[in-house]
Structure 1
Amino acid sequence: MNMKKVKTAVVLVVTALLVVACGSGNQASGDKPTIRVGTKDFTENLIVGELYALALENAGYNVERKPNIASSVVHTALTNNEIDLYPEYTGTGLLVILQEPLITDPEQVYQKVKEEYNKKFNATWLDYSQANDGAGLVIRTEVSEELGIKTISDLQKHASELRFASQGEVDQREDGIPALEKVYGPLEWKSSKVYDNGLKYELLANDEADVAPAYTTEGRLTEKEKFTLLEDDKQVWPPYNLAPVIRNEVLEANPDIADAINKVSAALDTETITALNAKVDIDKEDYEDVAEEFYKSIK
């Protein structure tokens, strides 16, 4: 073999070794499988699902992301083996999926869904986080401070002085205003008008309304100088704590998944997830970037 051919062969061997070495850096370690992480189709679920995916990758798994699944079918996607896990809410599991009676204690709700999902769906609820994306009422901070309204009990005493920006259905739904009035007493507003949900914070900011229905992790709630979330001090509304739901088959084959994802849940509370939502919905950052930045802070 002449020297030109020898040199060519050496170059090819070295190149091949470099390709293998570089490629292996992007692969999951060992023979760990690919985990399919699904999410619902709204900001918060997308962020949390990405956090789960990053935790799994950090633990050596390959991840296939399946975002933006409609809330109405994501549970079916899990039970039909189309995804392996996704972020769910304890209240949704209890009331929507299992159609069980209302429970308001967070731990009791969690234990109920954990037990029933295991029996009925061969699925496990991993640890739930303190982040609670439940129903609530938001009031203008100026009014809250002026009238000393911090809780829904306080609100009930001053309802006749307040303008309510309704969403229509909240006045009729059993778990809406009727549920509050059964426990707190009548809410006899100064006025009540129906508006599109997307307008509520602008109505409050522009002093066109004083109180509106809200979800407890909405990004605009970070603007505390403008908006105050009232405490449901008599616990009328059920908890909607975030938690990962995973197929038993996947968890049994890969038990270390629990430790990786439970670490994420332990880092999430209502204030934290609200701030993360605000970065996407108000600051217009990409949810993947928001999740990555937060995950780096808790690794």
Structure 2
Amino acid sequence: MKQRLGIKVLLLLGVMAWVLAACAPRSETKAIRVASKDFTEQFILGEMYAQLLAANGYRVERKLNLGGTPVAHQALLAGEIDLYPEYTGTGLLTVLKLPTQSDPGTVYQTVKEEYARQFNLIWLDPAPMNNTQAIAMKRERAEALGIRTISDLVARAGELVMVGPPEFQEREDGLPGLRRVYGEFAFKAYKSVDPGLRYQALNSGEADVTVAFGTDGEIAAFDLVVLVDDKGLWPPYQVAPVVRKAVLDANPQIATLLNRLAPYLTDSVMQRLNYEVSGKQREPADVAREFLQQQGLLK
């Protein structure tokens, strides 16, 4: 009789332990590791993702400012991080090394399917913003040299100094892609700098041309000219969270929470938010929180 009673007690204790574990708040479970690459927009987006998850009960570990695309992608594959913001065009050209395409829906569907098949990674909903690769010049300099398109730039490249992030020299959608589409050429020099210092170098006269992105706040703030990609090198670059499937399977609400954010991220919104950080020197976390609160996504 005592043995039966002991077994019943053990079973009851086991059931109670299971119930308590199931009812435990998410903050007691494994942290969701939110990462970003190494430039302003990524810091803001990474903070938005982290703050949305934290506000909804998830324990979050930030791993922002990891580095360029290869570093962030490999960290995701290695299970060192759980999600980060990625661009559809970068996924298509740099990661998958597929031919460029111009239709945003086709590009998104391609990367979504191939990431799931090759890497077991899931793309959530893309934002309408298009942070396309671009090349920009000071308006006065571009007009003086008669440069309006990338073809015009290539014709005079030997006279010009370009500034940009280190990875632009290696990426398929960087200098190698430009040479593949526009023909062999060389700038007088290429100055590798931290992405946040590109416009400073342009404005100080240290460079004539800069690598730019469609949502950079400095384009409007400094009245820069974005050169026309007249041979269509660059595809659309919509941003979306890329998440490890195992993490999403265990935490399906992550998709719902982060997908709510996507429609709010337009070109004009991201240009404004980026300039709050890069131009006005505000903290990405503060800019992200303020925006989320304004949209009613955070209390």
TM-score for the superposition, normalised by structure 2: 0.71
CA distance in 2, matches of 1:85, 1:203: 32
Larger-Rg structure: 1
Structure 2: gaps (5+ residues): 1-22
More off after superposition, 111-120 vs 124-133: 124-133
- For these two proteins, the number of residue pairs brought into alignment is 265
2:135 touches 2:227 (CA, 8 Å); kept in 1?
yes
1:107 to 82, 100, 105: 105
1:217 to 200, 203, 215: 215
More off after superposition, 71-80 vs 118-127: 71-80
Aligned to 1:295: 292
1:79 touches 1:121 (CA, 8 Å); kept in 2?
yes
Q: Secondary structure at the match of 1:249?
A: helix
Q: Secondary structure at the match of 1:296?
A: helix
Q: Secondary structure at the match of 1:94?
A: helix
Q: Shift of the alpha carbon at 1:93?
A: 1.7
Q: Shift of the alpha carbon at 1:81?
A: 2.3
Q: Shift of the alpha carbon at 1:262?
A: 1.3
More off after superposition, 29-38 vs 163-172: 163-172
Aligned to 1:166: 162
CA distance in 2, matches of 1:186, 1:97: 23
Aligned to 1:194: 189
1:104 touches 1:236 (CA, 8 Å); kept in 2?
no
CA distance in 2, matches of 1:241, 1:211: 24
Q: Shift of the alpha carbon at 1:147?
A: 10
Look up the equivalent residue of 2:215 and give its one-letter code.
T
CA distance in 1, matches of 2:62, 2:206: 42
More off after superposition, 199-208 vs 135-144: 199-208
Per-residue deviation, residues 242-263 of structure 1 (Å, max 9, x unmatched): 1101111222233222121112
Listed as ranges, the matches of 1:270-289 within 5 Å are 270-289=267-286
Aligned to 2:225: 228
Per-residue deviation, residues 97-152 of structure 1 (Å, max 9, x unmatched): 22223333322221111001111222110011123333212132346789998x63
CA distance in 1, matches of 2:104, 2:59: 33
Aligned to 2:25: 31
Q: 1:69 to 1:200 in 2, by over 3 A?
A: closer
Q: Secondary structure at the match of 1:47?
A: helix
2:173 touches 2:234 (CA, 8 Å); kept in 1?
yes
1:247 to 240, 244, 250: 244
CA distance in 1, matches of 2:278, 2:123: 28
Q: Shift of the alpha carbon at 1:272?
A: 2.1
CA distance in 1, matches of 2:41, 2:206: 28
Look up the equivalent residue of 1:165 and give its one-letter code.
V
Aligned to 1:76: 74
Q: Shift of the alpha carbon at 1:49?
A: 0.8
Q: Secondary structure at the match of 1:196?
A: strand
2:44 touches 2:284 (CA, 8 Å); kept in 1?
yes
1:144 touches 1:228 (CA, 8 Å); kept in 2?
yes
Look up the equivalent residue of 1:100 and give its one-letter code.
L
1:141 touches 1:224 (CA, 8 Å); kept in 2?
no
Structure 1: gaps (5+ residues): 1-28
Q: Is 2:42 the counterpart of 1:40?
A: no
CA distance in 1, matches of 2:238, 2:249: 24
CA RMSD of aligned residues (A): 3.7
Q: Is 2:255 the counterpart of 1:258?
A: yes
Q: 1:115 to 1:178 in 2, by over 3 A?
A: closer
Q: 1:36 to 1:230 in 2, by over 3 A?
A: same
Q: 1:80 to 1:180 in 2, by over 3 A?
A: closer
Q: Secondary structure at the match of 1:119?
A: helix
